[in-house]
Amino acid sequence: MRMFRSVTIGQHIPGDSIIHRLDPRTKILSAILLIVLLFVVNGFAGYGLVALAIALVVRASRIPGKFVLRGIRPLMMILILTLALHLFMTDGRVIFQFFFLKVTWEGLVRGLLMGTRLILLIMGTSMLTLTTSPMQLTDGIETLLRPGKKIGIPAHELAMMMTIALRFIPTLLEETEKIMKAQMARGADFQSGGLMQRAKSLIPLLVPLFVNAFRRADDLAIAMEARGYRGGEGRTKLRELQFQQHDLVALFLVVVFSVLVGVFF
Amino acid sequence: MTEPLIRFSDVSFIYTKTHGGEGLPALKDINFEVFEGEFVAVLGHNGSGKSTLAKHVNALLTPTSGQVVVAGLDTADQEKVWEIRQKVGMVFQNPDNQLVATTVEEDVAFGPENLGIPSAEIEERIAAALQAVDMLSYRLHSPHQLSGGQKQRVAIAGVISMLPKCIVLDEPTAMLDPAGRSEVISTIHRLNKEEQITVLHITHHMDEVIGADRVIVMDEGSIVMQGTPRQVFSQVDLLRSLHLDVPQVTDLAERLRNRGHRVPQGILTVKEMVMLLCPSD
Amino acid sequence: MSQAALRNVSLEIEDGELVGIIGPTGSGKSTLVQHFNGLLKPDSGKVYVDGVDLTLKDTQLRPIRQKVGMVFQYPEHQLFGETVLEDVGFGPQNIGLSDDDVVQRVQEALAYVGLDFASIKDQSPFELSGGQKRRVAIAGVLAMRPSVLILDEPTAGLDPEGREEILAEIRQLHNDGITVVLVTHSMEDVARLASRLIVMDQGAVALDGTPVEVFGQAARLKELGLGLPEITELMHELKANGLDVRTDILTVPEAEEEIIRVMGWQK
């Protein structure tokens, strides 16, 4: 299992299911379609169908449902806020009134719709990140953006930045911990005090962190140059993405489903 | 006489403002040659110019005056830069700051990818390079799971996968523990012997240069000594005046000799000292 | 991270000792010393500094951290101040000293590491040379006037000259009565400096004794993947090859005298 610790940055869960094996581009495109679809559809019946579809995908990916639901937790506040805003701010038939706060039937419906939309959005997109390694995701984005080069989208550079970020996240986390300890050893206090006090106490942590990050970036740039890096031009890849038959089938199904649901609901 | 792989002719280099320097000369009239298959160590204290020298070998820096020729290519020739960087690989001091990718194999692939090598061949090169540094079983690990010595070996693999003629190692062991240091040193000696890769090893650790064919000692941007390790280490006082250490055994031999005892110059290892003092077997 | 923690470690360090802690990477050396000033707390067991139990919930750690100064590996990577004065004064400021006292402390700490207060205090620490940065960072800890100083690989990455300077400063601090704990990979350094060595292995204390005692256990050290100082190794090898030399030798001058004695080279 130790081998996989490497790739579980973010929330990727390695596996060998049909969903895992899909080309990252298929999954990225499907996720985009899902987002569009969720904004086109505006009714519980349509959302029900989308939920069913997502449930099928979760099932096929053999990822435990709790991992998929976990993605919702950090967004709970936003969900509640969305619901509350719609609940209280929509005019219409009043269900009950509490001083100046009115809860309307229309508000309830819209709040629930918006909430469902958000939840489906999160679940659908987390299926993408759960089943795709960051490396694959980066490759997928790079290849998809490649045609955009003509209009000035730096596809390769974006992908390179993502790769380097992923590579250095663990290093920087370790470094943060070390600097914190070193400053605490000199009596620094990161916990107590008011907001201003606390913000100020972060300076001895953030300054070295940035200085070191720049130093690393410098070193890395020289090392990359020394290894013959000169941008994406003329570069090959260890693993070229291969669009396979099952990708075509999957994409076809997703498109058909989206069109049907989009048109009829 | 064969043509040298690397030749420095009257090379001087001055860091300008754009390099973040003060206009002080970092290299002064450097002349030396390295032949194919050699293992050359460059010694010097911090700020002696040895890293600046290293960066000249693969055109990361080009001389302010003078000429550096690598495998027949002038490093000042802009069009030859990428060819030179394929021929001369470079490994740096900080093991964390030179690995680019999130897995070992992707990192080793980085150089060949830049060269435009087809995927299938990259695959073969990765296997061969990781085998050569004895890291094949770590292929899918991510860099932060490795020890310092292992990271440096991956960095070396990342360079060998470009099939260079020569590797320049700029203080590759300065940040490693003793175990990591010996891993790296034995790896580069093996590559030199078995794969016939020319090595230019830059260091301030005396014990790491003992196995070299030749040692170049730098001070204040100039070459101040040159010779076999034995020749260099027989000048203990001069080394000391250059703020360099000598191995304890060499120090001991020198002290005994200075007191008039029959101890030859340039004793480098424990083994040699034992042979000297216990001649029976 | 839940790697190589500590297992059943019991040890005492007396006032005024200079203790070297050695052991392979991952043996728990750094984890151990971080318990000395409460940066880490044990899952079980007790840690006392000057009679104060660090494991109690209501123990104030700030005064402990002032008493037990800690210099981490590559301490120059933790510099942050706009000026050397600000950076070195960070610790004293945290203790709540007056500005005058802070300046006083900075002056004293910089003198310890051989830097000139007047010329360096207003410089940016980021523009100093590598060796100077390291010394400024060490001064930042000394400015707290600790009675115990822990240094984790203080000479890592320095060239021989820089290393000698730092080691000389450590010796000076020890002579001035500060208890020093030196975590290092360099057998030669601890052989020359330490009065006691603690060898860690897999989170436990493997050996504890004077350098002569510890380096006498050559076989055990080799087992742990640790070497001897080169000169000590030489004496062991000479002995193994039939020369009747003492093997409890840690420095080159000692070896010199011993070889002259055994070889009968005195005139």
Tell me the pLDDT tens digit for each residue of C64-88.
Answer: 999 999 999 999 999 999 999 999 9
The tokens describing A106, both together, are 């229309």
Is residue C55 classed exposed, middle or buried when 0-12, 13-18 and 19+ CB atoms within 10 A define those classes?
A: middle
Question: How far, in Å, CA of B221 to CA of A258, rounded?
Answer: 69
Domain chopping of chain C, boundaries: 18-207
pLDDT at B21 over 80: no
**Which DSSP string corresponds to B233-276?**
HT-HHHHHHTT----HHHHHHHHHHHTT-S--S---SHHHHHHH
Report ipTM (2 d.p.): 0.90
> How do residues B114-148 score in pLDDT, each as one tens digit?
999 999 999 999 999 999 999 999 998 889 889 99
Judge whether B267 lies within some domain. Answer: no
With CB atoms and an 8 Å threshold, state whether A163 touches B100: yes
**Residues of chain B found within 8 Å of residue A214, distances taken between Cβ atoms:** none
Domain C18-207 CATH (choose: 3.30.365.10, 1.10.1740.10, 3.40.50.300, 3.40.50.720):
3.40.50.300
pLDDT at B16: 77
Q: Which residues of C touch A (CB under 8 A)?
A: 34, 37, 39, 62, 65-66, 69-70, 72, 75, 77-80, 90-91, 94-95, 126, 140-141, 144
Residue B1 in any domain: the answer is no
pLDDT in tens, C247-259: 999 999 999 999 9
| Whole-angstrom distance, CA of residue A72 vs CA of residue B52 | 53
Instruction: Give the E-state strand segments of chain A in sequence order.
Output: 94-98, 101-104
Indicate if the pLDDT at residue B20 is higher than 80: no
Q: How far is CA A218 from CA A192, A214, A221, A225, C129, in A?
A: 35, 6, 5, 11, 18
CB contacts, 8 Å: B251 with chain C: 252
CA–CA min distance B143, chain A (Å) = 8
Torsion, CA B158, CA B161, CA B167, CA B172, rounded to 10: 20
| Burial (Cβ within 10 Å: 0-12, 13-18, ≥19) of residue B47 | middle
Cβ neighbours, 10 Å, residue A220: 20
- CA–CA separation, C19 vs C151, rounded Å? 11
Supply angle C-alpha B84, B88, B94, rounded to 5: 125
Q: Based on the number of CB atoms within 10 Å of its own CB, is A195 exposed (0-12), middle (13-18) or buried (19 or more)?
A: exposed
- Residue B90 inside a domain? The answer is yes
Contacts of C140 in chain A (CB under 8 A): 186
State the residue range of the domain holding B100.
6-246
Non-local CB neighbours of B182 within 8 Å, separated by 6+ positions: none
pLDDT over 70 percentage in chain B: 96
For the segment C37-50, what is each residue's pLDDT rounded down to a tens digit? 999 999 999 999 99
**Terminus-to-terminus CA distance in chain C, angstroms?**
62
Confidence check: pLDDT of B239 > 50: yes
Burial of B227 (0-12, 13-18, 19+ CB in 10 A): middle
Instruction: Give the distance from residue C254's alpha carbon to the nearest chain A alpha carbon, in angstroms.
Output: 39
Instruction: Give the C-alpha separation, A255 to A46, whole Å.
Output: 15
The region, left, alpha or beta by phi > 0 then psi within -120 to 50, assigned to residue B265 is: beta
Q: Which residue has the higher pLDDT, A100 or A124?
A: A124
Return the pLDDT at C267.
56
pLDDT at A8 over 50: no
- Asked if the structure places residue B93 within a domain, the reply is yes
Cα separation, C248 vs C257, in Å, equals 13
| The two three-digit tokens of residue B60, written as one number | 């990361």
- B280 vs C160, C238, C242: nearest CB: C242
Residue B23 maps to a domain: yes
Answer whether B211's CB lies under 8 Å from B184's CB.
no
Which of C49, C78, C127 is most worth mutating to test chain A (most A CB atoms within 10 A of its CB)? C78
CA B65, B15, C117 angle in degrees (round to 5)?
A: 145
Residue type, A57: V
Q: Which residues in chain B are closer than 8 Å to C188, comparing Cβ atoms?
A: 248
Residue A84 has pLDDT above 60, yes or no: yes
Alpha carbons B182 and B188: distance in angstroms, whole number? 10
Q: Are strands C179-183 and C68-71 parallel, antiparallel or unpaired?
A: unpaired
Beta carbons of C65 and A187 less than 8 Å apart: yes
What confidence score (pLDDT) does residue A248 get? 92
Distance from CA of C217 to the nearest CA of A (A): 34
Contact C65 A184 (CB under 8 A): yes
Instruction: Say how far apart CA A168 and CA B97 lie, in whole Å.
Output: 9
Candidates C249, C259, C240; CA nearest to B267 is: C259
**Residue B105 CA to chain centroid, in angstroms?**
24
Partners of B175 on chain C (C-beta within 8 Å) are 156-157
Q: Smallest CA–CA separation between A213 and chain C, in Å? A: 10
B72-116: per-residue pLDDT in tens? 999 999 999 999 999 999 999 999 999 999 899 999 999 999 999
Neighbours of chain B (3+ CB pairs under 8 A): A, C
Report DSSP letters for C35-81, one per residue: TTTTSS--SSS--EETTEETTSTT--HHHHHHHEEEE-SSGGGG---
pLDDT bracket for residue A3 (50, 70, 90): very low
In this structure, is residue B253 part of a structural domain?
A: no
Question: Token match 């076809």: residue?
Answer: A252
- Residue B17 is predicted with a pLDDT of 64
Kindly provide the b/e burial profile for residues C89-105, where b requires at least 16 CB atoms within 10 angstroms of the residue's own CB: bbbbbbbebeeeebbeb
Chain C residues with beta carbon closer than 8 angstroms to that of B46: 129-131, 158-159, 162
Q: Does residue A191 sit at the B interface (CB-CB below 8 Å)?
A: no
pLDDT at A1: 30
β C48-49/B88-91 pair status: unpaired
User: Residue C1: is its pLDDT beyond 60?
Assistant: no
Strands C48-49 and C52-53: antiparallel
Across all residues in chain C, what is the average pLDDT? Answer: 92
CA distance C21 to C10: 14
Is A83 in CB contact (< 8 Å) with chain B? no
Which tokens sit at A107?
């508000």
CATH number of the domain enclosing B116: 3.40.50.300
Q: Please report residues of C whose CB lies closer than 8 A to that of A175.
A: 77
Interface with chain C: mutation pick from A186, A191, A219, highest number of C CBs within 10 Å = A186
Which positions in chain B touch A2 (Cβ < 8 Å)?
145
SS3 assignment, position C113: coil
Contact call for residues B8 and B192 (beta carbons, < 8 A): no
Residue C2 confidence class, pLDDT cut points 50, 70, 90: very low
Model confidence band, residue B253 (pLDDT cutoffs 50, 70, 90): very high
Structural tokens at position B38:
């050699």
Q: How many CB atoms lie within 10 A of CB A26?
A: 22
Which range is least confidently modeled, A68-72, A159-163, B22-26? Answer: B22-26
Assess whether pLDDT exceeds 90 at residue A89.
Answer: no
Question: What is the rounded CA–CA span in Å between residue A96 and residue A104?
Answer: 7
- Asked if the Cβ–Cβ distance from C77 to A184 is below 8 Å, we say no
Residue in B closest to C261 by C-alpha: B256
Neighbour count for residue C6 (Cβ, 10 Å): 18
What is the band of A6 on the pLDDT scale with cuts at 50, 70, 90? very low
Nearest CA in chain B to A218: B97
pLDDT digits (tens, 9 = 90+) for B155-164: 999 999 999 9
| Residue B271 resides in a domain | no
Task: Work out the pLDDT band at B18, boundaries 50, 70, 90.
Answer: low
CA A3 from centre of chain:
23
- How large is the angle between the packed helices C130-142 and C160-175, nearest 10 degrees? 20
> Residue B130: enclosing H or E segment and its boundaries?
helix B119-132
**Averaged over A30-48, what is the pLDDT?**
91
Q: How far apart are CA B227 and CA C144, in angstroms?
A: 49
Residue A110 carries which side chain, given as an amino acid letter? Answer: R
Are B48 and B220 spatial neighbours (Cβ–Cβ below 8 Å)?
yes
Tell whether A170 lies on the interface with B, counting CB pairs under 8 A: yes
Q: How far apart are CA A92 and CA A104, in angstroms?
A: 6
Helices and strands per DSSP (H, E), number in chain A: 11, 2
Instruction: Scan for tokens 């969305």, then name that residue.
Output: A82
Distance from C-alpha of A93 to C-alpha of A104, rounded to nearest angstrom? 5
How far is CA C186 from each of CA C11, C21, C22, C193, C259, rounded to the nearest angstrom?
Answer: 22, 10, 8, 11, 24
Please, what sign has the CA dihedral across residues B254, B256, B258, B262? Answer: negative
Alpha-carbon distance of C172 to B191, in angstroms, equals: 45
Nearest to C141 among A175, A179, A186 (CB): A186
User: How high is the pLDDT of residue A9?
Assistant: 41
Counting the structural domains of chain B, the total is: 1
Of C230, C256, C260, nearest to B270 by CB-CB distance is: C230
The percentage of residues in chain A with a pLDDT greater than 90, rounded to a whole number, is: 35
